[in-house]
């Protein structure tokens, strides 16, 4: 399967804050959604900045549609829709003005589609954006990102300001979007329940390092958490342990192969694990 987006060994350091993206590599195949998960400050937005050239990487390669994107590659940016968390557009514009402006940027801007989204999302055309609620602003940004028929959507915490019902509607729109086999979405979020619903792949980032990338179904169906007592934990094969976290009365151990673990450790409870719990174990837990 070909990839719409490929990151190879991306590094970027910020000496003033002591933060760095450390040798990040992952890819996003065509027709899929990749959930990019990590706590606040883990490096999600920095990674997206490196992909979109708003931040200059120190080293590594980013390939979009099979090629590296420089400042002059405007035709590549025609195929990308972006939504940032928060105020994407100046507050003194109206949705109508936004459409007129976007029409000047994108050769395939579809005003009829934009109007449809405005109607579907219940957004007023002539009200200034500064009077929009956070949820309305995010919906407007999603409408704008979709209305030039992009092939790749890059969404940085795009669902964070929305209520659960609206989030669900947006997720349906994202799923519709990837029905076209040449469409893909990079969805950065810390709302892991959203990713469980729509993502095909999950990439976990922590302190600027990618700690796990896997198909979502693998995580949900194959990964497991073993609830061990101290003595059981000591008896575990170290190679099976991805991460562990000591709790008050037990030790939670993340393993990548539930079936094998159940057979191998018959006296230990092996629970299915949510993405939330995987993230907690990987971020807050320890590894050997």
Q: With beta carbons less than 8 A apart as the criterion, state whether 222 and 258 touch.
A: yes
Query: Which of residues 30 and 84 has its CB atom nearest to other proteins in the complex?
Result: 84
Query: Which of residues 106 and 233 has its CB atom nearest to other proteins in the complex?
Result: 106
Judged by the rule CB under 8 A, the positions of this chain that interact with other proteins are 49, 52-56, 71-72, 74-75, 77-78, 80, 82, 84, 86-93, 97, 100-107, 154
State in angstroms the smallest separation of the CB of 103 from other proteins: 7
CA distance 79 to 274: 33
**Token pair of 268 as six digits:** 């230990």
Question: H or E stretch including 224?
Answer: strand 224-228
CA distance 67 to 51: 12
Query: Which of residues 183 and 245 has its CB atom nearest to other proteins in the complex?
Result: 183
Q: With beta carbons less than 8 A apart as the criterion, state whether 270 and 258 touch.
A: yes
Query: Which of residues 50 and 210 has its CB atom nearest to other proteins in the complex?
Result: 50
3-state secondary structure of 79: coil
Query: Which of residues 71 and 267 has its CB atom nearest to other proteins in the complex?
Result: 71
CA distance 172 to 185: 13
CA distance 233 to 46: 37
**Token pair of 80 as six digits:** 């990308």
State in angstroms the smallest separation of the CB of 148 from other proteins: 9
State in angstroms the smallest separation of the CB of 157 from other proteins: 11
State in angstroms the smallest separation of the CB of 20 from other proteins: 14
């Amino acid at each position: 399967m070909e990839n719409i987006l490929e990151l190879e060994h991306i590094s970027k350091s910020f000496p003033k804050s002591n933060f760095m993206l450390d040798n990040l590599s992952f890819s996003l195949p065509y027709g899929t959604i990749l959930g990019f998960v990590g706590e606040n400050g883990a490096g999600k937005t920095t990674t997206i900045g490196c992909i979109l050239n708003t931040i200059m990487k120190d080293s590594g390669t980013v390939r979009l549609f099979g090629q590296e994107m420089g400042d002059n590659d405007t035709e590549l940016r025609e195929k990308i829709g972006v939504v940032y968390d928060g105020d994407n557009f100046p507050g003194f514009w109206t949705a109508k003005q936004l459409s007129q402006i976007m029409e000047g940027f994108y050769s395939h801007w579809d005003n009829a589609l934009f109007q449809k989204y405005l109607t579907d999302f219940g957004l007023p055309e002539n009200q200034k954006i500064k009077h929009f609620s956070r949820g309305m602003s995010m919906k407007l940004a999603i409408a704008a990102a979709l209305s030039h028929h992009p092939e790749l959507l890059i969404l940085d915490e795009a669902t964070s300001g929305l209520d659960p019902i609206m989030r669900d509607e947006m997720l349906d729109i994202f799923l519709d979007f990837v029905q076209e086999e040449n469409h893909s979405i990079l969805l950065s979020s810390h709302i892991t329940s959203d990713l469980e619903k729509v993502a095909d792949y999950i990439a976990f980032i922590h302190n600027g390092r990618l700690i796990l990338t896997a198909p979502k179904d693998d995580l949900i169906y194959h990964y497991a958490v073993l609830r061990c007592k101290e003595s059981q934990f000591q008896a575990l094969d170290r190679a099976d342990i991805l991460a562990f976290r000591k709790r008050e009365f037990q030790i939670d151990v993340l393993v990548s192969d539930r079936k094998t673990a159940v057979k191998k450790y018959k006296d230990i409870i092996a629970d299915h694990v949510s993405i939330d719990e995987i993230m907690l174990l990987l971020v807050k837990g320890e590894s050997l």
